[in-house]
Amino acid sequence: MAGEQLRYDGQTVVVTGAGGGLGRAYALFFASRGANVVVNDLGGSFKGEGGGSKAADAVVNEITSAGGKATANYDSVENGDKIIETAIKAYGRVDVLINNAGILRDISFKNMKDQDWDLIMKVHVVGAYKCARAAWPHFRKQKYGRVINTASAAGLFGSFGQTNYSAAKLAQVGFTETLAKEGAKYNIHANVIAPIAASRMTATVMPPEVLDKLKPEWVVPLVAVLVHKSSEETGSIFEVGGGHIAKLRWQRAKGTLLRADDSFTPAALLKKWDGVADFSEPSYPTGPANFMELLEDAHKLPPNDPAEPIRYDGKVALITGAGAGIGRLYALQFAKYGAKIVVNDLMDPEGVVQEIKKLGGEAVGVKASAEDGDAVVKGAIDAFGRIDIIINNAGILRDKAFTNMEDQQFQQVLDVHLRGTYKVTKAAWPYLLKQKYGRIINTTSTSGIYGNFGQANYAAAKCGILGFSRALAREGQKYNILINTIAPNAGTAMTRSIMPEEMVQAFKPDYIAPAVLLLCSDKVPEPNTGRLFEVGSGWVAETRWQRTGGAAFPVDVTLTPEAVLGKWADVLNFDDGRADHPNDPSAGTAKIMANMDNVSGKGAKSSGGKGKNEEVLAAIEAAKKAKAEGTEFTYDERDVILYNLGVGAKRTDLALVYENDDNFQVLPGFGVIPTFNAIAPYSMGEVVPNFNMKMLLHGEQYLEIRGPIPTEGTLVSYPHLVEVVDKGNAGLVVSGSVTKDKRTGKDLFYNESTVFIRGSGGFGGPSKGTDRGAATRVYKTPSRAPDSVVEEKTTEEQAALYRLSGDRNPLHIDPGFSKVGGFPTPILHGLAFFGIASKAVVKTYGAFKNIKVRFAGVVLPGQTLITEMWKEGNVVIFQTKVKETGKLCIAGAGAELAEGAKPRL
């Protein structure tokens, strides 16, 4: 198929928001490949203001002038029926719908107004629904249809200052997955893309040089493949832009299972919390877990270990939809453990209030819809003067096959679930900010995550809640407001309409509440915000994204659908060792941004002027794709102490040298150790010409801490080649390595080491490295005096001690070898004084989440190091000098502090 040109002759393609940017590119492309195109555009601003016919007319004129067929439509997507009517009147059919129209209303949550929320929902969520709903009968009748809905990185991962946009965009995922399930037997396919492309919207947040390489034309070919009659892909999620395309799917941890009885408590769950995020045996679900089987297994387990109860004394918990079912159970459980309860319900909260009072608890009822969040929160403040915990639990069902769904049914579900969650949280937010404390649990569902027949409304609303939660978690974290999302499985009055009665009875809310209570405590290890958990039957498991390594295309060659098909297997391949788990917008777009310097090289010359060495270039590309088998590194408390001593810990630093100290810990610089002797799937001699170990210089080091560092364990490191840069007289090789905890499967560290190899350039590779954010950042020291200075004298034995942690290079111990290298005595390892400098950062400012250094000079054992530090917001910029020579040994360095970092040691 890759050899044929994909055509759309005789088909009608409807593109919303087609007056400019990505929509215009879609319209022009499909017209050029034989389709009739309906060019819809309201003609307003990217903020959703104004209107007019000029934008759509201009695109139609472009198409017709080139001999194509196109018709303009100027309706808002809220009037999707009129847009589809235009297609039917003009061409008698509709085959493809591309829901592309969108606006931005970026604003921090504390300053967001209801109109900022409502307008985004109206355009993105309701607009996509209205257009798809109007096209659906035509698709079913002709047994053919293709739908593309548009998400974004902000939706997939949550973006600061975009709670409205993130909610709307992730709503597209649940909506799309439901359409895919309902449309399958009618040959109606629905997919969702998360594009990054230059447009009126992105022009406000991206620099021109980046926008130039993010042309909409990089997105169109993927969509062309997905909507072609030959495509079998449906219900899928893709990220695309700048020459990069990858697929995403859900990955579910094995989770932890406890006996489902009265011994299942928050404290019992805490004891087995590590298993919740155990991705060592993951699954890749497209629907809910087998909760009946889980329940049967849970009943076979012995009673859960008793534990000291987790208390909520002095805390005020607000629970919406708490008049019955799972909300009632939450209320009773929180009251049991000491919290004061606000029972909110649209029907009658008083019965639950009285239950709590009879048990000796404190409670007040607020009879109101969750949509009236102001009234709900006012009831809490009036009664108790504060609010600490919010469980957004209220909900309704209006299930209906999509072909029969009425607008009111879609809007009602969206309002109660998504807008209700927003309104209650928004009303409480000022109180949470002021007290710098809050715990929020929002409720999604497996229908939202995976889509479900007859629940296009519910799936959109529930997945939107997840997008909202992830975005808000980023805004709340620095104020100690933690937000998580659960997808519960319980028998309730709501589920009684879709579950057999015996299942309703079996799936007790009692087997969900402990997870909710625990997440609202202060006991869960970090990170404890922005996460998604599936819960029920005594089982709790985390669910996250997995992304393929994808396909990358050179940015100096026009991309075609046929070229995309040529690499389609790479786009879909989750099993080639390149898959990862992005969890924030920067990680979401990292591969797109990393492709900016991917050029075909036609006519290019290396900076060394020696022309291309095709053998080396081919070896580099092969090495980049090579997958490491993984090298294990097992360590215990002895190794921790040895490393800490190797980077200057003193006998009086008990937390670093005594395993029985209450605060015994690993210095974070230890993250470079597990990967040091890991086996790479390539050799240096393959990826640069004239390789000579003696000509190698360690230039830069980047370390990212991705999880709490245990004081013993078995880790597995997976090295890979990041890039090779041709500096003319030298080759620059960047090696990356992901280190995982073997037991949990979770990432612990990520390292990047940059080495310069003199005499190994001139092979015709790129002369400039890619921008990988924090990993490639060079920090500039401020012009003012340092905010802090730490001075530390190394010992004569420092190198001899440090080498026992793994770097056995004789340069650091053998005088004869060091003299051959041009040094009068053995020198100190670069990663040793990196560790000493990073210790100074931790000692002064607290834990960091990543650190980047540039090695600038040599240190001899016994010399004194002076680390000068400047704190700029959440970043510590630093440099390290050798006191005896006055020369820098570390320059351009910086560390991003972890949330809530405090001086340690």
Give me the pLDDT at residue 210, please: 55
CB 253 within 8 A of CB 31: no
H-run or E-run covering 73: strand 69-73
* DSSP line for 29-60: HHHHTT-EEEEE-----TTS----SHHHHHHH
Whether cis (ω within 30° of 0) applies to the bond prior to 221 is no
Q: What does the DSSP 8-state code read for residue 797?
A: T
**Among residues 56, 59, 24, 60, which one has the least CA distance to residue 43?**
56
Q: Are strands 316-319 and 389-392 parallel, antiparallel or unpaired?
A: parallel
- Mode of pairing for the β-strands spanning 237-241 and 36-40: unpaired
Mean pLDDT of 43-69: 78
Nearest one of 721, 770, 697, 771 to 617, comparing CA atoms: 721
Q: Are 239 and 246 in contact (CB under 8 A)?
A: yes
Task: Give CA–CA dist 16/127, Å, rounded.
Answer: 9
Q: Which helix (H) or strand (E) holds 854?
A: strand 848-855
Question: Higher-confidence residue: 599 or 562?
Answer: 562
The encoded tokens of residue 818 equal 């060091």
Mean pLDDT of 158-167: 90
Average pLDDT over residues 370-377: 96
What is the widest separation between alpha-carbon atoms in the chain?
88
Task: Output the CA torsion 236→241→243→249 (10° steps).
Answer: -30
pLDDT confidence of residue 46: 45
pLDDT, tens digit (0-9, with 9 covering 90-100), for 767-790: 999 999 999 999 999 999 999 999
The answer, yes or no, to whether residue 745 has pLDDT greater than 60, is: yes
pLDDT of the residue at 822: 63
Note the pLDDT of residue 824. 77
Task: Return d(Cα 730, Cα 762) in angstroms, integer.
Answer: 7
Walk me through the domains of the chain, giving residue ranges and CATH numbers: 12-241+548-595 (3.40.50.720), 275-544 (3.40.50.720), 609-766 (3.10.129.10), 777-904 (3.10.129.10)
Per-residue confidence (pLDDT) for residue 39, from 0 to 100: 97
Per-residue pLDDT at 602: 38
Mean pLDDT of 287-311: 92
Distance CA 459, CA 448 (A): 4
pLDDT for the residue numbered 496: 44
From residue 239, alpha-carbon distances to 156, 213, 316, 446 in Å are 10, 16, 41, 22
Beta bridge partners of 704: 750, 850
* pLDDT at residue 764 is higher than 70: yes
The residue whose two tokens read 């209107």 is: 51
Distance from C-alpha of 449 to C-alpha of 509, rounded to nearest angstrom = 20
pLDDT tier at 47, thresholds 50, 70, 90:
very low
For the beta sheet containing 864-872, the strands, ordered from the edge strand earlier in sequence to the opposite edge, are 631-635, 713-726, 730-741, 747-758, 696-705, 848-855, 888-897, 875-882, 864-872, 788-793
Measured CA distances, 817 to 312, 684, 757 (Å): 63, 22, 19
Structure tokens at 53: 């016919």
C-alpha pair distances (Å), 637 with each of 57, 223, 479: 71, 53, 34
User: For 425, how many CA atoms within 13 A lie in the half-sphere containing its CB?
Assistant: 35
- The tokens describing 654, both together, are 């008990």
- In this prediction, residue 840 carries a pLDDT of 97
| DSSP three-state, residue 704 | strand
Q: What is the residue type of 730?
A: A
**Residue 506 pLDDT:** 64
Number of residues in the chain: 905
Return the pLDDT at 734: 96
Contact yes or no for 507/536 (Cβ under 8 A): yes
State the Rg of the chain over Cα. 29
pLDDT in tens, 196-236: 755 444 444 444 445 566 788 899 999 999 999 999 999 99
Q: What are the beta bridge partners of residue 879? A: 868
Cβ(837)–Cβ(853) under 8 Å?
A: yes
Taking only the tens place, the pLDDT of each residue in 106-146 is: 788 999 999 999 999 999 999 999 999 999 999 999 999 99
Q: What is the pLDDT of residue 609?
A: 36
**Please, which pLDDT band fits residue 592 given cuts at 50, 70 and 90?**
confident
Residue 211 confidence (pLDDT): 56
**Residue linked to tokens 């009943």:** 299
Q: What is the pLDDT of residues 230-247, one digit of tens each?
A: 999 999 999 999 899 999
The strand pair at 631-635 and 539-547 is best described as unpaired
Closest CA to 72 of 50, 594, 64, 621: 64
The pLDDT tens digits of the residues spanning 455-478 come to 999 999 999 999 999 999 999 998
pLDDT confidence bin for 875, thresholds 50/70/90: very high
What pLDDT was estimated at residue 759?
83
pTM: 0.68
Measured distance CA(273)–CA(208) in Å, rounded: 46
Would you state the pLDDT for residue 495? 44
Distance CA 828, CA 803 (A): 9
Helix axes 420-435, 456-476, angle to 10 degrees: 10
What are residue 29's phi and psi, to 5 degrees? -65, -55
Model pLDDT for residues 655-664, shown as the tens digit of each residue: 999 999 999 9
* Residue type for position 825: T
Q: Is the pLDDT of residue 491 over 50?
A: no
Look at residue 465 in the predicted model and tell me its pLDDT: 97
Cβ neighbours around 828 below 10 Å, total: 22
What is the pLDDT, as a whole number, of residue 48? Answer: 46
Tell me the average pLDDT across 512-519.
96
For residues 688 and 726, what is the distance between their CA atoms, to the nearest angstrom?
9
* DSSP states along 185-229: GGTEEEEEEEE---STTGGGTS-HHHHTT--GGGTHHHHHHHHST
Q: How far is CA 560 from CA 123, 246, 504, in A?
A: 30, 16, 52
Task: Write the CB contacts of 227 (distance below 8 Å, at least 6 apart in sequence).
Answer: 8, 13, 96, 98, 146, 148, 189
Question: How high is the mean pLDDT of the chain?
Answer: 90
Percent of the chain scored above 70 by pLDDT?
92
**DSSP letter for each residue of 845-879:** H--EEEEEEEE-S---TT-EEEEEEEEETTEEEEE
Block residue for tokens 């009665």: 501
Exposed/middle/buried for residue 453 (C-beta within 10 Å: 0-12, 13-18, 19+):
middle
What burial class does residue 710 get, using C-beta atoms within 10 Å of its C-beta: 0-12 exposed, 13-18 middle, 19+ buried?
middle
| Number of neighbours of residue 286 by Cβ within 10 angstroms | 14
Report pLDDT digits (tens) over 387-437: 999 999 998 878 899 999 999 999 999 999 999 999 999 999 999 999 999
User: Catalytic amino acids?
Assistant: 165, 169, 458
Judged by DSSP in three states, 718 sits in strand
Q: Say how far apart CA 161 and CA 743 lie, in whole Å.
A: 36
- pLDDT tens across 312-336, in order? 999 999 999 999 999 999 999 999 9
Q: Are 584 and 157 in contact (CB under 8 A)?
A: yes
